[in-house]
Chain A
Amino acid sequence: MQILASIAIDSVTYGMTLFVIAVGLSVTLGLIRVVNLAHGLFAVLGGYFAWYAMTVWKFGYVPAAVAAIVLTTTAGLLLERLLFSRVYRRSALDQVLLSIGIMFVGIAACGAVFGDGIKTLPLPPLLSGPVELGFRAVPAQRLLVITCGGAVVLAMWLAYSRTKVGIRLRAVVDHTDAAESIGIDSRLFYAVAFALGAGLAGLGGILGAEIMQIEPFYPTKYLVTFLAVVAIGGLGNIWGSLGAAMLLSGVETSSKYLLPSLGSILSYAAMLAVLSFRPHGLFGGEEGE
């Protein structure tokens, strides 16, 4: 029973982190239709900025996280305006090459600025201890991750379905030309969506720093994982990303606990199985190219 509870808690924590990071990628790939292999860069930047704010500027955990998310969002906006917006209508291979270039430069910059060691984010006393939940004690940090992930899900659902911005965003997604002809500035929406996705990845990078350690090669190390979430979830499908993140983290965590000798084979086999039967993703529709 204990081991099942551990698996469940670890899976949900890891899955929430994956979702918060990958949902921005799902939006850029599915809605803006630009391939961005450098998405992990935003996650690691979030972690680095938070570390810098905490250790150099002596910020507390929450102010540091907020500052880091603001900085990451800005970085996303700058990259979108300066580089990504130039390749929106170009071939996918050009987008792959550009984003790999950005990822490499970003890795080099992180290594040069922050050094090549692993950065651990110091947790405040409130978060470093366990919390008694009645049936068992759970590390407070995990509860924070799960709560934040839940809040992101709720906020995205509300923004997407209930606000004017969300309605316009859906209009741009469904039919860019028609949306533009009634006065919606699609470029503005692309920029905002890209930047918000980057900011969310930054939040995910901070929340997940205990599982996915902050180091320069982070963007390449977890690239496949993030892409897997998007592919299984279905491009641009927010709820699909959530389900896919939970599925992948569940398979990976249980395989780590129960069948460690298999390594990551099970996760990849699960991905292969899902995608070969549902090429548009487990939760994706039948549409698509």
Chain B
Amino acid sequence: MTQVHSKRLAPLELAVPLAAAALWVIAPGQLGLLTQIATTAVVVLGLDVVVGYAGIVTLGHAAFVGVGGYAAGLLALHVFAEPISGLLFGAVAGAALAFLTGFVVLRGRGLSLIMMTVAVAQIVLEIANKSRKWTGGDDGLSGFEVSPLFGIFPFDFTGKVAYVYSVAVLTICLFALRRIMRSPFGLTCVGIREDRVRMSAMGCDVSGHLRLAYALGGALAGLGGALSAQTVQVVGLHSLSFTTSAEALVMLILGGTGRLWGALVGTALFMTLHHVAAELDPFRWMFAIGGLLIAVVLVAPSGIVNGVLGKVELWRERRAGL
């Protein structure tokens, strides 16, 4: 079913830069928020690979986001400040941590799996908190400069370069992910999610595959963390916190798991609402987002995108029937 829809919505990679350009014209004062949405969307796409495609429910995604961010920040601070290699370094750091912890974490199922992902993220957070010398502890890692993109475009205070850069990275990730998820690897992930026993009976190396999917998700999370570190120029402990993991999961489920659109829609909706309501007091923000989550579950099961697509499908069938 996913396949049918994804064919119909193929120009996704085009839609993102077009929407980004349109939003720039409509709300030029909100480039900061839009950049943040783009960087977070990369993280949530990574989570979609893990949760939506491979069916590994995790509440520890923040570990990879934070490690990617710190890796990019430390590289810029101590070695060299070229942005693209920083991104790749962040992605490799995220992927390596995910792949290695995958050996332990992926032994569990259900709640024990979730709790092990939480434990890994909390341990990483605690280590980052204790090694003040490297990470700055509570104050966060700052003071690193990112050199101009391709040596030409400097990351200045207007945030225009940062915005175009983040949207470009997001688009490339989408382009790559769509192909990966349609490849035998992606389809095997979905197969494992749907029926693990049958896949393993067919001779598929289930745990090896899951580790790779987990590492791919970690790579995207690290990439998103690095992107955020470069565009905001600070990495805080918050990026490793349980809240970051939980919010990413909420954004993903809100939009709809198992399809790339869902991750984008959920992220944009959640972050915009967060931005609007955060200007009020925090309790009203929690009331608004909490109410939205309850309403989505009761009205549009399995996320907004799936809900809307379901309605469209129904409408088409009805029209065809007439």
Inter-subunit contact A97/B293 (CB<8 Å): yes
How many A residues touch B, CB cutoff 8 Å?
A: 51
Residues of A within 8 A of B285 (CB): 108
Residue of A with least CB distance to B122: A268
Inter-subunit contact A235/B287 (CB<8 Å): no
Residues of A within 8 A of B296 (CB): 97, 101
A246: Cβ under 8 A from any B Cβ = no
Given contacts A101-B290, A103-B290, contact A93 B57 (CB under 8 A): yes
B119: Cβ under 8 A from any A Cβ = yes
Q: Which of B123-131, B198-206, B313-321 contacts A (4 or more CB under 8 A)?
A: B123-131
One of B113, B127, B257, B294 near A98 (C-beta < 8 A)? B294
Which residues of chain B (107-158) have a CB below 8 Å from chain A? 107-116, 118-120, 122-123, 126-127, 129-130
Inter-subunit contact B116/A102 (CB<8 Å): no
A272 to B: closest C-beta gap in Å: 4
Residues of B within 8 A of A91 (CB): 301-302
Question: 0/1 per residue, A92-109, Cβ < 8 Å to B?
Answer: 111011101111111111
Residues of A within 8 A of B246 (CB): 100, 220
Question: 0/1 per residue, A117-151, Cβ < 8 Å to B?
Answer: 00000000000000000000000000000000000
> Once bound together, how far apart are the Cα atoms of A280 and B13, in whole Å?
42
Most buried by A among B107, B290, B292: B290
> Once bound together, how far apart are the Cα atoms of A82 and B259, in whole Å?
30
Residues of A within 8 A of B272 (CB): none
Inter-subunit contact A276/B107 (CB<8 Å): yes
Given contacts A224-B122, A272-B120, contact A263 B111 (CB under 8 A): no
Inter-subunit contact A276/B298 (CB<8 Å): no
Residues of A contacting B: mostly: helix
Question: Total A-B residue pairs with C-beta atoms closer than 8 Å?
Answer: 146
B214: Cβ under 8 A from any A Cβ = no
Residues of A within 8 A of B302 (CB): 91, 93-94
One of A97, A228, A281 near B253 (C-beta < 8 A)? A97
B33: Cβ under 8 A from any A Cβ = no
Task: Return the 9 tightest CB-CB contacts between A and B, nearest first.
Answer: A104-B290, A101-B293, A105-B290, A108-B287, A101-B294, A111-B283, A231-B115, A279-B108, A108-B286
Name 25 A/B residue pairs within 8 A (Cβ), A-sorted.
Answer: A83-B294, A92-B57, A92-B110, A93-B51, A94-B301, A97-B250, A98-B297, A100-B250, A102-B294, A105-B291, A107-B283, A108-B283, A220-B246, A224-B122, A224-B242, A228-B119, A231-B115, A232-B115, A263-B130, A268-B123, A275-B107, A275-B108, A275-B119, A288-B109, A289-B109
